[in-house]
Amino acid sequence: MFFKSSILTIIIAVLSSSLTGQIRLDLKEGCNYTHGVNNMSDFYGYAPSEDAQQIVKKILDIVNISHKRFQVIAGNVNSAMATKEGEVNYIIYNELFINKFRQDVNQEYAIYSILAHELGHLIQGHDLGEKDPDRRARYELEADEFSGTILRSLCSTQEQALFAIRNLNSTIKDPLYPPLSAREQMIATSWRQRNQDILKGKLVDPCGETIVLKFGDKLKSSGNLINNARGRIMGDVMVITYDMDNLPGENRYKTMMATPRLDDLSPRSIEWQSDPNQPGKEKRAIWHFARDGYSKAQANQSARLGLASFKENRVPKARAVWEYTPGAALLALGGLSFSRAGKLKRESVELYDNTYAEFRNETADIYQGSNPSRDEVYAAANDIHRQAQTARFFGALGTAVGAAYLFDRYLKDKRGRIANLHFGENGIGGRLTIGN
């Protein structure tokens, strides 16, 4: 709250790092984080902890403001207070109050939230002696907005950013403060806004962990056009960046996430930040892995995740049984032709050996009457032999083409069964899985 006492004099000696005893502070005005008036008339300050000074410095570094413009003092204020003397800004905090939030990492963000709120007043130039209730309430919400933005930049979750405000004593009412529900909403809204700016690439997130999405490289032989695919874990989402090659004269592509065929990792909630089927550099997508039931550790799988983009008519897919039919039919016809070639050859050899070669005399009885002459027997045997050769040629051709067709389909089928491909539209979670 905005606090007013008698005289504005902060004894500078309290800021000395060598100070071990308490020094009385005479405060004129300030803003106290907790609701309600501090009933004490006397304030005492002493040297701040190194931890508190580092927290203030980390907050100020985010907004690129030198910490030298701010002095941190430990004191017997209710919680934390912002005050000012001339051009010097002061943050006074209650060590016992702050220590209540040091139990675990979730609660520790509350310390950052409280001190960020107080710094927000000073950075935004709020009049700490303002008496108008509406303007004071607006100042509080602006400081809460600053706090929510800072907490997201410090890698907190939304719940961690709200821990401090949710643990204030809600029974204390103060007409100079907005209701706690409004303050909580402001912190949540500003946290989400900063988070969205980061997800959309407007700001760089210092908290994310980047991994290379390697699995897409296994699809290069199948025509994958994606390069430099990387994922950055940000809270409960993975922000994916990638480059997509452009093929000359081609304007129809299909882009998807890829996982190994027999893998149970199944990205469904994929939100494309721009048209995924258009080439470009530094394109983005967001995988909401928490929506799909995965933890951060489960999503952080470099070798099991990839991105893939293909010409629309060249998306690898597992082949249906009927697609093997032409090749199988050609093999069967080739086999039948070989069988017929063998039969015809036997007929030709039998006619030649048992008639033409056996009975060399043209006047032999076998050539008399209505029987074919010896020359006609030779011509018939030769004609059957040519038919056998033709059948053998088409048998070999059919077998070769059929085998090549089946082998080609096998290779395409094998490539198609390497991966499961997953796509999403506006986070709805559309999915295409191949190879099953």
Please report, for the chain, the start and end positions of each structural domain, with discontinuous segments joined by +: 2-199, 210-316, 321-416
Higher pLDDT, 243 or 360: 243
Terminal alpha carbon distance of the chain: 63
CA–CA separation, 103 and 327 (whole Å)? 70
Is residue 224 within 8 Å of 214, Cβ to Cβ?
A: no
Q: Are residues 3 and 41 in contact, defined by beta-carbon separation less than 8 angstroms?
A: no
Cα maximum dimension of the chain: 150
- Read off the tokens for 205: 């997130």
pLDDT tens digits along 171-206 = 566 777 888 889 999 999 999 999 888 887 788 777
Query: Which tokens go with 191?
Result: 């946290």
pLDDT at 68: 86
Q: Which of 57, 91, 87, 54 is nearest to 74 (CA)?
A: 91
Q: How many CA atoms lie within 13 A of 159 on its CB side?
A: 5
- The residue ranking higher by pLDDT, 9 or 398, is 398
pLDDT tens-digit map of 227-274: 999 998 887 889 899 999 988 888 888 898 989 877 888 898 898 888
pTM: 0.58
Single-letter residue type at 345? K
- The predicted pLDDT at position 196 comes to 87
Q: What are the Cα distances from residue 128, in Å, to 46, 100, 105, 124, 256?
A: 22, 27, 31, 11, 54
Can you tell me the mean pLDDT for 276-302?
89
Mark out the alpha helices in 417-435 (DSSP H runs): none
Q: Between 9 and 160, where is the model more confident? A: 160
Which residues does 78 contact at the CB level (< 8 Å), separation at least 6?
32, 33, 34, 36, 38, 94, 97
